[in-house]
């Protein structure tokens, strides 16, 4: 979405991105040489954060845990990495022919199968797939519209997914795969776009799927920040306004739902002189209405995730199940990271943590933060 920013904000954002893209860009990096814990007091016990060696210095922007042992990450310079032992060892690689691309999204299916999505205007927006742990990659989709720019994707199953891009001439060029190979344009199924409306490719989480057919797309850069929702696998969509700010530099950056009804969004404003803004909101009716939570103390939220098992995507609308409390939520961005034990009513800062763009969880205890300089932090909440 960076291409749509006003020139002054574009320059500031590019400077920030260049600074954050260096291998030693975070002042907190040296303080993470050993396991550290969140320090802000809370009624719930904070997580332990353990640095892991990704063996790449390229910035990491997306993370996709398959389970507590298999995790895929991706980022700049055509880079991906995978672990099959919970992060004790990581194996990085660069997709041949994609050395100049930024993989802003990754979807791990197993230790062998994964998808990558790159961003960029025109043919730089692509989708790749591996079925042999990254030994080879097949190019599945290349955007041919010179004005097109894709931001993120998400999957219901190993072969059913949706790809979202910025609007072009008032239309979202969304695509869908039902076979894990071909990506068909379904843009005519989506509502018309607001002027300038699109997604933010900040962490690969501007689309979320749940159950067999539900999905939500988070938008920004228009006059309003909206959620586009489907309950039938993408055949039909509805647009819902949210209380987060919308402008050419602002909107929703990240969305996730923990069941068919309860979801959370995070975002903000890329303008460095923007006035204060709400950056998190919740829904309990499937995304039709939203209300702001307490502001997460990190500025703009690039990525967020529920600490929950990936197998929790039941179709039941009445969570939490069996008397359980709502899962914890963790938000991240260039300026910091924070977590909530009550779905955003209060927040606890992860002290000394900054420059992490994305977060994802394998289960209710174990997740990963990824960020600049190839940094990876394992997040481990204590047992209840």
What is the structure's pLDDT at 220?
Answer: 98
Could you tell me if residue 46 is inside a domain?
A: no
- Whether 84 maps to a domain, the answer reads yes
Residue 39 has pLDDT above 80, yes or no: no
Q: What total number of domains does the chain contain?
A: 1
Could you give the 3-state DSSP secondary structure of residue 240? strand
Say which range, 10-19, 27-36, 149-158, 262-271, has the weakest mean pLDDT.
27-36
Which letter does DSSP use for residue 149 in this model? B
Give a yes or no: residue 228 inside a domain: yes
Residue 86 lies in a domain: yes
Confidence class for position 244, pLDDT limits 50, 70, 90 = very high
Instruction: Give the per-residue pLDDT at 267.
Output: 98
Q: Give the model's pLDDT for residue 15.
A: 37
| Whether pLDDT at 342 is above 60 | yes
Reported as a pLDDT band with limits 50, 70 and 90, residue 383 is confident
Q: How confident is the model over 340-354, as a mean pLDDT?
A: 97
Residue 273's pLDDT band, with cuts at 50, 70 and 90, is: very high
Region 141-165 average pLDDT: 98
Residue 43 lies in a domain: no
Quote the mean pLDDT of the chain: 89
pLDDT in tens, 179-231: 999 999 999 999 999 999 999 999 999 999 999 999 999 999 999 999 999 99
Domain membership of residue 8 (yes or no) is yes
CATH value at residue 304: 2.130.10.10
DSSP state of 147: T
8 A C-beta contact, residue 279 and residue 268: yes
What average pLDDT does range 35-52 have in this prediction?
A: 67
Structural domain contains residue 42: no
Cα angle 362, 364, 369; round to 5: 55
Three-state secondary structure string covering 246-280: CECCEEEEEEEECCCCCEEEEEEECCCCCCCCCCE
Whether the CB-CB separation of 164 and 156 falls below 8 Å is answered with no
Residues spanned by the domain of 125: 2-29+52-379
Give the per-residue pLDDT at 42.
Answer: 45
Residue 47 falls inside a structural domain: no
């Amino acid at each position: 979405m960076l291409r749509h920013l006003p020139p002054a904000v574009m320059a500031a954002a590019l400077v920030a991105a260049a600074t954050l893209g260096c291998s030693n860009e975070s002042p907190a990096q040296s303080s993470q040489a050993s396991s550290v814990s969140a320090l802000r007091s809370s009624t719930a016990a904070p997580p332990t954060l353990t640095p892991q060696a990704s063996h790449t210095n390229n910035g990491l922007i997306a993370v996709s845990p398959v389970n507590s042992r298999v995790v895929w990450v991706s980022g700049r310079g055509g880079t991906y990495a995978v672990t099959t032992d919970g992060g004790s060892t990581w194996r990085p690689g660069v997709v041949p022919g994609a050395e100049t691309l930024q993989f802003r999204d990754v979807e791990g299916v197993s230790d062998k199968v994964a998808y990558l999505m790159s961003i960029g205007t025109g043919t730089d927006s692509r989708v790749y797939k591996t079925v042999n742990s990254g030994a080879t990659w097949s190019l599945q989709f290349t955007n041919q519209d010179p004005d097109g720019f894709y931001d993120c994707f998400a999957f219901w199953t190993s072969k059913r997914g949706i790809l979202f891009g910025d609007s072009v001439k008032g239309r979202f060029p969304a695509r869908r795969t039902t076979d894990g190979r071909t990506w068909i344009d379904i843009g005519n199924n989506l509502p018309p776009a607001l002027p300038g409306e699109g997604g933010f490719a900040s962490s690969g989480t501007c689309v979320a799927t749940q159950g067999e057919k539900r999905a939500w797309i988070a938008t920004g850069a228009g006059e309003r920040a909206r959620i586009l929702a489907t309950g039938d696998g993408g055949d039909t969509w509805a647009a819902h306004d949210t209380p987060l700010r919308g402008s050419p530099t602002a909107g929703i950056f990240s969305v996730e739902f923990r069941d068919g009804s309860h979801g959370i969004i995070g975002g903000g404003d890329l303008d460095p002189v923007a006035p204060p803004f709400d950056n998190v909101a919740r829904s309990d009716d499937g995304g039709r209405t939203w209300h702001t939570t307490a502001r997460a103390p990190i500025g703009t939220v690039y990525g967020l995730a529920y600490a929950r098992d990936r197998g929790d995507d039941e179709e039941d609308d009445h969570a939490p199940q069996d008397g359980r409390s709502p899962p914890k939520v963790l938000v991240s961005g260039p300026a910091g990271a924070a977590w909530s034990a009550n779905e955003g009513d209060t927040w606890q800062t992860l002290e000394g943590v900054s420059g992490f763009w994305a977060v994802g969880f394998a289960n209710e205890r174990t997740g990963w933060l990824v960020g600049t300089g190839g940094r990876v932090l394992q997040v481990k909440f204590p047992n209840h």
